[in-house]
Amino acid sequence: MTRVHILMYHRVGQFPGRVKAHGALYCHLPRFKAQMTMFRLLGYTVVSLDDAAAGLRGDKPLPARPLVLTFDDAYVDFLDNAAPVLKAHGYPATVYAVSGLVGATSSWDAGVGPEPAPLMTAAQLREVQAMGFTIGSHSVSHPRLAQADDARIRAELTGSKAALEDMLGRPVDHFCYPYGSHDIRAVEAAAEAGYVTGTTCVRAAATPADDLLALPRKAVARGDDVFGVAWKLLAKNIAKHPQIRRA
């Protein structure tokens, strides 16, 4: 069976111990470097999300162990810390930006989680794009889409796509559901907006049976060393609950 492992990262850098309670948002830089080296040693080939989608559709062959790297929220530390490591390995990656908060901070965290952190400016997103990375959409304002009304869902998906395409000067084909919150309305809205893929927080490997607009991912957290990430790649491949798929 064709399986594509899609990993979900957020921030990469040096972080104090007090953020441990929100470990899913952080990857310590030395561990990130070790993980990037490990992938090649274990025979994984890092592919772009575009190539993964084409492979899952059956439009092109995929390598034996395809792996996709995604980074939610477009934090400044992607450019400072993750991008140089990825470039050194020649790895593609997709970075999901919140269009209404470009150049601001992760204000959705205020009062409910870690301290809001700086997000990349339009110039920095263009710099990341010029480095060969893909910029995707993470909505306009980072809401829980499954709790929003239909009009809000459509506005978040279409508005962010249009704003980012205007900012970047090229199509934005990939969407990431904030918090992983999605339902059939959100998936259908992603299709109507013209996205090619949509990624969730459902933990599994992606297969041709999945809807391309509701692809599962595996989160990499602060506590994951190379052995932990290797275990997630090898063992966490089937979703615990049925996944959303359009008819």
> What per-residue confidence (pLDDT) applies to 18?
54
Domain ranges of the chain: 5-235
The 10s digit of each residue's pLDDT in 183-227 is 999 999 999 999 999 999 999 999 999 999 999 999 998 888 999
The 10s digit of each residue's pLDDT in 233-244 is 998 888 888 899
The per-residue DSSP string of 113-162 comes to SSPP-BB--HHHHHHHHHTTPEEEE--SS---GGGS-HHHHHHHHHHHHH
**Residue 19 CA to chain centroid, in angstroms?**
21
- Binned at pLDDT 50, 70 and 90, residue 232 comes out as very high
Q: Does residue 20 have a pLDDT over 70?
A: no
What global pTM score does this model have?
0.96
> What per-residue confidence (pLDDT) applies to 113?
66
Q: φ and ψ at 87, to 5 degrees?
A: -65, -40
5-235 topology per CATH: TIM Barrel (3.20.20)
The 10s digit of each residue's pLDDT in 130-140 is 999 999 999 99
* Torsion region of 177: left, alpha or beta (phi above 0 gives left; psi -120 to 50 gives alpha): beta
